[in-house]
Structure 1
Amino acid sequence: MGEVVAGASMSLVGFVAGPGESGFDLFFGWTGSGAEEVPTAQPGRSLRMSPASAKVVRAQLESTGALVVGRRLFDLTSGWGGTHPFGVPVLLGGGVSFFGEFGLGPVRLGPPDVTPGKGVTHLRYRVVGTNSRSFSRVSSFAGV
């Protein structure tokens, strides 16, 4: 069975955007602020980040088969010019909030894997239990 990974970049208090959908430069500034280059699937575009962040991002790049993103993000990025930086198919959600309609009930998370980076802390949680068998292999990561 495949694994579903859910992710979001958010502030320490849980915001995923600032007023008027601002602040994305703060949320994603870490992807251009380091010395280590991480090539993307977009020709001529690389990310620059700390070595710790590069290790996390490379692992994500190597293990991602497809992305599910909201329509708003797709619009904000102008569809990434036709190629997402991860170089995998993008499936558009309908603007549904993060875990908004899954109806998982309580979800038990294992201890986080924590990787500090420059301007970001990568957190990865394994789901260790849910009320739904179909989501027993869900993982989550959040960049803060």
Structure 2
Amino acid sequence: MGNVVVGLAVSVDGYIAGPEDGPTAPLGEGGAALFEWYTDGDTPSRHHPRFRMARQSAAVFDAIVDPVGAVVTGRRTYDITGGWGGDSPVPGRPLFILTHHVPRPLPETTVPHTFVTDGVASAIAQARAAAGDRDVSLAGAQAVQQAIRAGLLDELHLAVVPVLLGGGVRLFDHLGGPVRLEKIRVVDAPSVTHLSYRVREDSRVRKDA
């Protein structure tokens, strides 16, 4: 069985999107700065060839994406991104969406999209079944926060961008208490610092499981 992981770009003050994000401005005001490192180098990603990153960033990015077998996201993130055009944030991987209401009619997709109405534990369990021995990746702040509260997150990979957004979508709100981490890796790259952590077993409180 693989790990439950998250890999996200984040500002120094902890935001993954700027203020006033929505379908017409998915990254909010100033949020585009979080993704400049995806295109400021000359090394393409094996998974997203249009991303051309610094060599160090491409190695870290692909190492995180390589083992992913399925993705879980929240409904707000799903709607803001337009459902990734029927695909998934990790291309070709099945997507599981946390929601209170299943859309009707179901959207047309190129990979399976499953709407899960009975909570994050169920969504992750279904994603694990689809992923087999590969990882389950989380997309969006809500899915990450719910997984942390439920004690279900294994690893956290942050691309910390040197910008202060001052508002927007915070990654680490509503965690339900302190979460202790173990450092796995630190990689300094042009315009971004990659930090990887493992969630300690004594922080898996499973409050919402």
TM-score bin (small chain): 0.7 to 0.9
**Letter paired with 2:94:** P
Kindly state the Cα deviation for residue 97 of structure 1 after the two structures are TM-superposed: 5.9
C-alpha change, 1:111 and 1:40, in structure 2 (3 Å) is closer
Q: After superposition, where does 1:18-97 map in structure 2 within 5 Å?
A: 18-21=18-21, 22=28, 23-40=30-47, 46-84=50-88, 86-87=90-91, 88-94=93-99, 96=142
Query: C-alpha deviations, 1:66-118, integer Å up to 9, x for none?
Result: 11122222223222222235221121134836324725454321124111223
Q: How high is the TM-score relative to the length of structure 2?
A: 0.54
So what's the TM-score if we normalise by structure 1? 0.74
Query: Which position in structure 1 is the counterpart of 2:121?
Result: none
Q: Among the aligned pairs, what percent are the same residue?
A: 36
Letter in 1 for 2:201: G
Root-mean-square deviation over aligned CA pairs: 2.6
The runs of at least 4 consecutive aligned structure 1 residues that moved more than 6 Å come to none
Cα distance in 2, alignment partners of residues 118 and 93 from structure 1: 35
User: Which shows bigger deviation, 1-10 or 13-22?
Assistant: 1-10
Task: Assess, with a 3 A threshold, how the Cα gap between structure 1 residues 85 and 19 changes in structure 2: closer, same or farther.
Answer: closer
* Contact map agreement 1:49 1:118 (CA 8 A) in 2: no
Gaps of 5+ in 2: 22-27, 100-140, 152-176
Q: Which has the larger radius of gyration?
A: 2
Map 1:105-120 to 2 at 5 A: 105-120=177-192
Count residues with an aligned counterpart: 131
Distance 1:115 1:26, change over 3 A: same
Instruction: Indicate the residue corresponding to 2:14 in structure 1.
Output: 14
Residues 1:103 and 1:62: Cα distance change in structure 2 (over 3 Å): closer
Question: Where do 5+ consecutive residues of structure 1 fail to align?
Answer: 135-144
User: What displacement does 1:15 show?
Assistant: 1.8
Match of 2:198 among 113, 116, 126: 126
